[in-house]
């Protein structure tokens, strides 16, 4: 199977079987890109997630674009990006057609009630996985806790928190 077809297939699977947005996609993306296809190392995956976080747009699309580019150049980035968004496009079209008929169904409400907590579980797995490879010393733990506090309690803008974190790294981390 060609690399482009593998990229499309892997990212289509990621887009099709992950509910809850970009962060919920990270565990499956990690498995596909590192374990199944060996396109990235764990450190490269972390770097791509960090870059995808800092650039405008959804983390899943940005990550797919970066992985595609890293694996097969510009065409790879296009193919991986199309792969990750196509399932959502298809599902949204189908839901738009069907939702009007079934929005008050007890089955629909039950399905949505079951999916919501599973999404939290997926996000927690991504948090733990990313934390294990990112929080490697006292400095990284301090930056993570400080960023959390500044975002959650002080309500600072995320861009400002990223900038402050970069400044901390420049000043305090050799």
Query: What CA–CA distance (Å, rounded) separates 151 from 145?
Result: 10
Q: Would you give the DSSP letter of residue 135?
A: -
Average pLDDT, the chain: 89
Q: Within a 10 A sphere around the Cβ of 69, how many other Cβ atoms?
A: 17
Residue owning tokens 């490879």: 133
The stretch 101-125 carries a mean pLDDT of 86
SS3 151: helix
| Residue 13 confidence (pLDDT) above 80 | yes
On whether the pTM is more than 0.85, the answer is: no
d(CA 80, CA 20): 19
- Res 103 pLDDT > 80: no
Residue 16 buriedness (CB in 10 A; 0-12 / 13-18 / 19+):
middle
Residue 80: predicted pLDDT: 96
- Domain boundaries, given as residue ranges, for the chain: 3-134, 136-174
Residue percentage of the chain with pLDDT more than 90? 49
């Amino acid at each position: 199977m060609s690399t482009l077809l593998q990229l499309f297939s892997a990212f289509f699977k990621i887009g099709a079987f992950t509910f809850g947005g970009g962060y919920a996609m990270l565990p499956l993306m990690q498995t596909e890109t590192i374990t199944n296809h060996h396109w990235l190392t764990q450190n490269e995956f972390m770097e791509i997630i960090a870059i995808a976080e800092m650039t405008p747009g959804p983390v899943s699309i940005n990550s797919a674009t970066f992985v595609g580019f890293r694996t097969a150049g510009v065409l790879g980035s296009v193919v991986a990006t199309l792969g990750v968004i196509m399932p959502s496009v298809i599902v949204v079209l189908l839901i738009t057609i069907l939702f009007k008929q079934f929005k008050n169904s007890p089955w629909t409400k039950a399905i949505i009630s079951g999916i919501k907590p599973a999404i939290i579980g997926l996000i927690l797995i991504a948090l733990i996985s990313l934390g294990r490879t990112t929080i490697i010393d006292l400095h990284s733990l301090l930056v993570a806790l400080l960023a959390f506090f500044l975002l959650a309690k002080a309500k600072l803008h995320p861009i400002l928190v990223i900038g402050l974190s970069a400044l901390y790294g420049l000043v305090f981390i050799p």
